Amino acid sequence: ARRAAAMITTTDMRADHFVEAYGVGRPVVVQNRPFYRAAPRSNRLREALGLDASVPVFLYQGGLQAGRGLESIIDAAAGVAGVHFAFLGPGILRDDLMARARERGVIERVHFLEAVPFEELPAWTASADVGLQLLENIGLNHYSTDSNKIFEYGMAGLPVIASDFPEIRKIVESADFGLLVDPADIEAIRAAMIRLRDDAGLRRRFAENALRQGRALSFDTEAPKLLGVYERIGQ
């Protein structure tokens, strides 16, 4: 029978699953992180949305797809006065999300922007105040992920509000740059949003921690692991 020369996966939880489910040797874990790119702070998002520089903007960047907790963001936004919410990216849920924002009475504070060129994405991301990644627990793929968006937010110096899943928890807690919530609990999401809206000191601490560890949160630290696998195979 044919056998793989090596096996790679993206998180410890997934590696453990492959061992338990298939009886294989433990795969090498190489996290799916973006390469490091510095992104200076700016007001790019606020300028695009016609907002004053003092207005807080919470950002979701990525595809507007099911299972991303996007409806929960809008539901929670209804109780978070003064904050504007930007969705940056394409997707089939855009019209449904806009309708939901109208129903919840927050359409004036919820904004949808088209996808931007990849090389411009860090600058757009860094112009927000908080990054949102509220993946829903709809299966092992989501529950076991570490989410590359978490790393993108971190490298841009954004505090995050993220799903309290095992691998995401390890990243956020080890770098100390955000709050973890149950993505099915709207009140918990809303409370985290309000806390980061109101506590400038906490936002600053999280942002400084993220920027300080930006390179450690990038693929720069993972690439040697991948190269090591290829070197062993080639010997």
Same domain, 210 and 230: no
pLDDT band at 2 (very low <50, low <70, confident <90, very high): low
Nearest to 129 by CA among 75, 80, 86: 86
Q: How many domains does the chain have?
A: 2
Residue 1's pLDDT is: 40
The pLDDT score that the predictor gives to residue 235 is: 80
| Mean pLDDT (whole number) for 186-202 | 98
8 Å CB contact between 226 and 10:
no
Q: Please report whether residue 2 resides in a domain.
A: no
Token readout for 178 is 């955000």
Q: Identify the CATH number of the domain in which residue 188 sits.
A: 3.40.50.2000
Task: Return phi, psi of residue 157, to 5°.
Answer: 80, 25
Average pLDDT over residues 117-144: 95
Task: Give me the domain span that covers residue 93.
Answer: 44-214
Structure tokens at 232: 């062993």
* Residue reference for tokens 């807690």: 173
Same domain as 161, residue 126: yes
For 121-132, how does the pLDDT look when each residue is reduced to its tens digit (9 = 90+)?
999 999 999 999
The amino acid present at 12, given as its one-letter code, is D
Query: Cα separations (Å) of 180 from 82, 163, 183, 191?
Result: 22, 6, 9, 11
Residue 118 included in any domain: yes
Q: For residue 200, give both structure tokens.
A: 């400038």
The dihedral formed by the CA atoms of 86, 87, 89 and 94, expressed in degrees to the nearest 10: -140
Q: 196: closest CA among 184, 183, 181?
A: 181
Examine the domain organization and report whether 119 and 201 are in the same domain: yes
Say what the pTM is: 0.92
92 and 163 assigned to the same domain: yes
